[in-house]
Chain A
Amino acid sequence: MAEAEEWAGRLGIGNYHDRAKQLLSTENQKDRIRELLELSTIYGLRLFERTGLDNEGVGGEQQRVEMYEHVIRGVEGMRVLGHVQSFDYKYFNKAVAESKIHRKHPIYLQEFLDVKENAKGPIKVPITGPYTLVDWSFGGYYTGQRTGSSLKKQKQEAKREFLLDFVEQVIRPEIRDLIDAGASWIQIDEPAITTHPESTDMELFVEGWNETVRGFNCKFSDHTCYPSEIGYKVLAEYAPKLDKCSQLALEFANRDGTSLGVDAKHREGYRDLQYFIENGFEGEFGVGVVHVHDFSGHVPPDAGRATERNIIESPELVRDRLLYATKIVGDPAKIWANPDCGLRTRTWDVTYAKLESVVKGAELAREASR
């Protein structure tokens, strides 16, 4: 409570005491959770506003367990089986399809309505993409239906059926609800797509994406991060085929050096941007300019500072990353400054400092471009 009160003060959440009192006096647990989720969203939105971000997203997805399980719990036919390791001491709760799937209830709608009511700036609604949801799940029912062909082919066929069911039965109804409620920008998070750079999977991803956005009048963008060793090269080949995809938000800072400079040598982490230009992607880029996980390397004083497990990038380092990205893309209007991915594994203090650097770095980049 003390931390919540401290942040309420820092973020200017004026009615904190009234809301906290109301929350504690609410006897019905369901109502209390609802109030808590709404209050959490307000915290997230105010945090983003205070740091000066141009777009408030949905306030840091405060109402979601995490990007995978939050969706899965709203899908009939899926059962959570248990945790598997993502990396180090980070895990995710992995589910299996036990029958043909369909949506139980709206998944992101209430969060969006809370955000819409409380946000002071533009909103972008991130949702987890169908390809990623399928790739991170066990096929179960879909895999078990098949016999005859090779084991590998059986798995590929099952994956396509599973994906198209996710698109039609879960994701499209969700997008319809969000658009009807007023959403104008939906970011489809597809971190899994760079996991399988083979053409069969890339074509499946494009098929799933195009089916997902078909017929909707809304701004759509993609977020992808932490690719395999091939980087974004293969995604770049397929990105122009993604219907209505007006922006790619990509992780880069994780793979970049930590010294200042706007040349290829210093900004090695951003070289893959070139592939998108070469392949003719004409949309915007959300460029990851701050790292979102544990960091243990060296940081020169002018590029930021390393705390216990974090790097707090300086605005100057963010500036140089943006300037280099602009050099490749050619048009500064197409460059957005983003964190690499969600900052959920960082503390609020670290998050605040990083987002401030993103905003100040973007200002410095704008000044330098004039």
Chain B
Amino acid sequence: MKMPTSAELGGIHPRSEQLIELTRSYDRGKTERPSVEKQIEKDTIELVELQDESGFENFTDGAFSWQDQLRPIVESLDGVTTGTRYSRWFDTNTFYKKPTVSGKIGLATFNLKKFIHADLLPKSKPWKVSLVGPYTFSELAENLHYKTQSELVYDLAHAEHEIIRRLKADGVSQFQIAEPCLVYRPYREQTLSNAELEIALAAIRRTVDGIDARFTIQTFFGDATTILPHLLKLPVDGIGFDLFETDHTRTKIETKKTLALGIVDSRESNIEDPKWIAETATRVSKHIFSDNIVLVPSSDLKFVPRKVADAKSRALAEATRLVEERK
């Protein structure tokens, strides 16, 4: 049996206490924007160093300037604005600006810097960007334009496809497409219907179609056991799930796709023991077998303070080493 060979980060990493202080001060009109930008660069460089020291293969920049998981996408599109409402990000104590769809969606302007600090990432390593997928985007937005969700999701998929194509052209080769709404919909009375699932899966296919990059579909905040078989049929390289919400013992799957195992809890502060991570990954692999397991946080690490997130990142790397030693 093969076991995890790598670990990586994805999504928004928490801002440092210094950056938090500066952004607060900026928000009160007491600090100029360049000081904030400088600290964002510093935070990014520190995270790059952490990934380098930890032996990570795929590098993220931490997305320190992202205000929420949707904002850079919204700001790149026609037909949708950030709106005026703050809405809760799933069952967390964080909020996002709810996108308002008021016209036909399409890519407006693409600005690489909105998505990634490419200039601060090592040229010799693959770069990774995490984007909320078209189905989840549609679920979290307010639709004032499209007659059906299907039409909205299709155009979102097309627009995200364009964003990804440009990111790829600028050097990004790894993409995490986050689709938590496939597994967590407490605000909907019905579970995901087959028709909706088909819309979501078709949108993912449209998003990744024809782009030569590595794609992982990541789910979190809900139990993924029933959705995994469907995701495994997608033309993507990997699928991922949140181990703290998923009862993996209910399933038996064997796949050649990469399994991104959300094995450190991004919503609790305890630092998982690398030995526990390695043993748990082994237990999970008895139910969901993959040739390549990648250890990842259960979702964005922005829900814990920076020092906790950094310690969890190192624990992931250490767990990978433990597994390698056992081989």
Contact = CB atoms under 8 A, between A and B. Distances in A.
B270 A140 contact: yes
B186 A228 contact: yes
Contacts of A77: none
Contacts of A82: 17, 305-308
B20 interface: yes
A135 to B, nearest CB: 7
B53 interface: no
B244 A152 contact: yes
B255 to A, nearest CB: 22
Nearest to A141: B270
A230 B187 contact: yes
B186 A136 contact: no
A227 B88 contact: yes
Contacts of A143: 268, 270
Contacts, number: 118
B84 A195 contact: no
Nearest to B92: A195
B14 interface: yes
B85 A254 contact: yes
Interface string A141-154: 00110000011100
Nearest to A255: B85
A21 to B, nearest CB: 28
Interface in B255-289: 265, 268-270
B24 A91 contact: yes
A196 interface: yes
A83 B309 CA distance: 12
B20 A91 contact: yes
A178 to B, nearest CB: 26
B243 interface: yes
Nearest to A228: B88
Contacts of A96: 269-270
Nearest to B307: A82
Interface in B205-261: 223, 243-245, 247, 249
A227 B187 CA distance: 10
Nearest to A86: B94
Given A84-B303, A87-B96, A228-B91, A293 B86 contact: yes
B91 A87 contact: no
B149 interface: no
Given A91-B24, A230-B186, A152 B95 contact: no
Nearest to A155: B244
B27 to A, nearest CB: 4
Interface string A282-308: 000000000001011100000000000
A228 B88 CA distance: 5
Nearest to A150: B247
B67 interface: yes
Nearest to A144: B270
Nearest to B28: A89
B14 A84 contact: yes
B308 A89 contact: no
A249 B322 CA distance: 53
Nearest to A139: B268
A85 interface: yes
B312 interface: no
Contacts of B93: 84, 86, 92, 135-136, 192, 195
Given A83-B305, A228-B87, A197 B17 contact: no
A292 to B, nearest CB: 10
A289 B94 CA distance: 23
Nearest to B82: A296
A140 B268 CA distance: 8
Contacts of B84: 295-297
B68 interface: yes
Nearest to A94: B305
B110 interface: no
A1 to B, nearest CB: 17
A264 B303 CA distance: 37
- Looking at A81, A92, A138, the one whose CB has the most chain B CB atoms below 10 A away is A138
Contacts of A135: 93
Contacts of B92: 195
A229 interface: yes
A349 to B, nearest CB: 14
A226 interface: yes
A89 B247 contact: no
B163 interface: no
B304 interface: yes
Interface string B68-109: 100000000000001111111011111111000000000000
14 contacts: A81-B305, A84-B14, A88-B68, A94-B304, A135-B93, A138-B268, A139-B268, A140-B268, A150-B247, A150-B249, A151-B243, A152-B245, A195-B93, A228-B87
List of 3 A-B pairs having minimum Cβ-Cβ separation, nearest first: A82-B305, A229-B187, A230-B187
Interface of A: 81-92, 94, 96, 135-136, 138-140, 143-144, 150-152, 155, 192, 194-198, 226-231, 254-255, 293, 295-297
Given A195-B91, A230-B188, 15 more contacts: A82-B308, A87-B68, A87-B97, A88-B67, A88-B68, A90-B24, A91-B20, A91-B24, A94-B305, A96-B269, A136-B93, A140-B270, A143-B268, A152-B247, A155-B268
